């Protein structure tokens, strides 16, 4: 079971350092013959641009290829096939699977039906661990990973990239500042895990007082599609927006990150400042996913620990 990557909670510091180190050492040119003939199955039940295409780019840069389930309307899912059946069949066609699904817990459930490595590329408002690995890679290159003050702002309730990132950061000596409206605070389950890990976490409703202390500001999109009620979305939309002027009070070295897509939470004038790291971050998606797939397909496995983090070791409480 430890071969599947479902949650950031599975990742120890050693696992993270191993994937990041492998990514830094991978040479794109010579990687081309590493996995000739390997096939990656892409099962996306929700929209995706970066995650799907960077996984596809990654497997192709390793010499392999991708098979893509395509749009849900064009697949047997529209005939009522269960997720379990779909992944079971695709696992017979491919050497590894990447799954994105609107239901929290879907990746974990699906992983119980497949014998090839399954990678969670986002399960509803649950987890998005590969995004976290590329986030950490970007941070490490720019400012390191220890001794940091990291601000995470926006939709902390529904944002799966936030849930994964905040959990993974507990492996490092970083303090976390969570900036959001009251209604979009981190779910209790994730907060419980942060506290259990002994991480310093402070919640804020305003960015202004905390901004001068930050080394990293991780901005997120309000996850409109997850709001049960559109009026609730409208009540918070546009509240946490930064522009170049906002950053006047920031440290010179502050980096601004965002998993993308952005809507209007980062004004385009931030792009031209030295703080902006989000496009570089997106580009790192290919490098990190190459490293992950290389480890998963070579038999080395994603996890550094021989006792690979079994899915039974942790409970899904988000
Ligand atoms: C994120 C996601 O899908 O959770 N996108 C991504 O994978 N880069 C963030 C988002 O959609 O807001």
In terms of Cβ atoms closer than 10 Å to its own Cβ (0-12, 13-18, 19+), residue 307 is: exposed
* Mean pLDDT of the 129-133 span: 98
pLDDT of 64-123, one tens digit each?
A: 999 999 888 777 787 889 999 999 999 999 999 999 999 999 999 999 999 999 999 999
* Mean pLDDT of the 41-63 span: 96
Exposure b/e, 31-63, CB count within 10 A at least 16 = b: beebbeebbbbbbbbbebebbbebbbbbbbbbe
Probe residue for ligand 1, chosen from 7, 44, 50, 51 as the CB with the greatest number of ligand atoms within 8 Å: 51
**What domains are defined for the chain?**
8-127+285-308 (3.40.50.1370), 129-281 (3.40.50.1370)
Nearest residue to 257 (alpha-carbon basis) of 269, 244, 271, 245:
271
Residue 313 confidence (pLDDT) above 80: no
pLDDT of the residue at 28: 83
Distances in Å between the alpha carbon of 215 and those of 12, 20, 36, 251, 265? 23, 20, 41, 7, 19
As a dihedral over the C-alpha atoms of residue 70, residue 75, residue 80, residue 83, rounded to 10 degrees, the angle is: -40
pLDDT of 164-210, one tens digit each?
A: 999 999 999 999 999 999 999 999 999 999 999 999 999 999 999 99
pLDDT band at 239 (very low <50, low <70, confident <90, very high): confident
pLDDT of the residue at 84: 96
pTM of this structure: 0.95
Tokens 């506290």 locate to 195
Nearest atom in ligand 1 to the alpha carbon of residue 259 is: 8
Gap from CA of 224 to ligand 1 centroid (Å):
12
Nearest residue to 241 (alpha-carbon basis) of 206, 265, 270:
265
pLDDT band at 2 (very low <50, low <70, confident <90, very high): low
């Amino acid at each position: 079971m430890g071969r599947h990557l479902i949650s950031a909670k599975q990742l120890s510091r050693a696992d993270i350092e191993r994937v990041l180190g492998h990514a830094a050492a991978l040479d794109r040119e010579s990687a081309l013959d590493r996995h000739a003939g390997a096939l990656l199955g892409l099962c996306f039940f929700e929209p995706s641009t970066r995650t799907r295409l960077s996984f596809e780019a990654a497997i192709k840069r390793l010499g392999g290829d991708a098979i893509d389930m395509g749009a849900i309307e064009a697949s047997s899912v529209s005939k009522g096939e269960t997720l379990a059946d779909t992944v079971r069949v695709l696992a017979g066609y491919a050497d590894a699977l990447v799954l994105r699904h609107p239901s929290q817990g879907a990746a974990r459930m699906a992983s119980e039906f497949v014998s090839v490595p399954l990678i969670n590329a986002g399960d509803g408002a649950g987890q998005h661990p590969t995004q976290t690995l590329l986030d950490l890679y970007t941070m490490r290159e720019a400012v390191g990973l220890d001794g940091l003050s990291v601000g995470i702002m926006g939709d902390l309730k529904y944002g799966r990239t936030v849930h994964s990132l905040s959990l993974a950061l507990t492996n490092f000596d970083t303090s976390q500042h969570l900036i959001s409206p009251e209604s979009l605070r981190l779910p209790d389950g994730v907060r419980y895990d942060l506290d259990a890990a002994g991480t310093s976490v402070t919640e804020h409703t305003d960015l202004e007082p905390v901004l001068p202390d930050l080394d990293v500001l991780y901005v997120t999109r309000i996850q409109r599609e997850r709001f049960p009620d559109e009026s609730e979305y409208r009540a918070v939309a546009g509240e946490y927006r930064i522009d170049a002027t906002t950053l006047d009070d920031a440290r010179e070295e502050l980096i601004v990150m965002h998993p993308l897509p952005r809507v209007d939470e980062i004004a385009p004038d931030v792009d031209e400042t030295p703080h902006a790291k989000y496009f570089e971050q997106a580009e790192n998606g290919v490098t990190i996913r190459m490293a992950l797939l290389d480890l998963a397909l070579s038999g080395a496995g994603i996890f550094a620990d021989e006792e690979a983090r079994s899915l039974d070791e942790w409970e899904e409480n988000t």
